Amino acid sequence: MTIPADHPRYQSLIVRERLAGSVRDGIVSLEGLVAHGRGEAFDYLIGERTTDSALLAERTAAAMIRSARHPVISVNGNTAALAAREIALLQQASGAIVEINLFHRTEERIRKISQLLESNGVTVLSGKAERIVPLSHDRALSYPEGTGKADVILVPLEDGDRCEALLKMGKAVIAIDLNPLSRTARMASLTIVDEVTRALPMITGFLMTLQEQDIVLLSRTPDNNYFLTEAMKEMDRRLAHALD
Ligand code: PTJ
């Protein structure tokens, strides 16, 4: 069967291919492929589209980034492989610092991911990483001018421990995570339950159109529980009619 090019399933097949290639190129870790598969399953449950509540979360994220003093985008292997160009556009619209933070950290991966991001127009924070985040392993390694100074930090596909540590440091954490039940999703200040390549352009779009009064209103106290509950309800609704 041929799947039409504008069908969401076609897009997810292309994304899967790109990710598999990025494993071969040393950008994405093997664990990253597993994480992607988990994301695909949840994406299927929300209908492989941006839901209304995710759209509101994306608008809220734009408001939080706009009102931040020192916004930072933390990029891992999966995010770089899937959305290097989208990160460049978000950086242009927000002026945020882009920092690479890896769970499975090697200097070679940092170098390759930096090259990939820069070839797509991202300015990547460089320098010497230090043990800034209170974690015992390499996920502690960050940059004083990036995570060190951040008040708002956008972490697509974050792991739970690091999310918790960033919150303990007093940072507002915006997560992008298709699994509303993950530790990251439940702990973050704001979780966008959407696929990263759909979520980032939405945030960029809102950054360019939000009015001052919306920024103040939306960024005040994001209700993360509301966004998670709405995502679960959406999945529930779809499952209830899955065989119709
Ligand atoms: O590149 P590294 O070394 O930093 O490793 C990155 C991974 C992703 C392996 C690491 O951060 C990790 O293990 O993450 P987790 O704990 O598996 O969490 C990833 C979360 O992202 C899961 O809840 C997935 O459902 C979700 N996810 C996967 N793909 C996407 C996604 N969410 C949004 N968009 C996606 N494309």
Each residue's pLDDT tens digit, 51-100: 999 999 999 999 999 999 999 999 999 999 999 999 999 999 999 999 99
Long-range pairs of 130-139 with CB within 8 A, sequence gap ≥ 24: 133/162, 133/165, 133/166, 133/169, 134/165, 134/168, 134/169, 135/161, 135/162, 135/165, 138/102, 138/103, 138/105, 139/101, 139/102, 139/103, 139/105, 139/165
- Count CA atoms within 13 Å of residue 24 on its CB side: 6
Q: Is the residue at 4 inside a domain?
A: no
pTM, rounded to two decimals: 0.95
Q: Is the residue at 34 inside a domain?
A: no
Residue 57: give its domain's CATH number: 3.40.50.12640
Q: Is the residue at 7 inside a domain?
A: no
pLDDT in tens, 179-230: 999 999 999 999 999 999 999 999 999 999 999 999 988 988 889 999 999 9
Residue 47 Cα to ligand 1 middle (Å)? 19
Residue 213 Cα to ligand 1 middle (Å)? 34
Confidence check: pLDDT of 9 > 90:
no
Q: Is the residue at 38 inside a domain?
A: no
The boundaries of the domain holding residue 92 are 52-240
The structural domain count of the chain equals: 1
Q: Is the residue at 212 inside a domain?
A: yes
Confidence check: pLDDT of 1 > 60:
no
Residue 81 Cα to ligand 1 middle (Å)? 12
Q: Is the residue at 114 inside a domain?
A: yes
Residue with CA at minimum distance from ligand 1 atom 24: 39
Q: Is the residue at 219 inside a domain?
A: yes
Task: Categorize the per-residue pLDDT at 3 as very low, low, confident or very high, splitting at 50, 70 and 90.
Answer: low
User: Which protein residues touch ligand 1 with a CB less than 6 Å away?
Assistant: 29, 31-32, 35-36, 38-39, 42, 76-78, 82, 102-104, 157, 159, 176-179, 182, 195-196
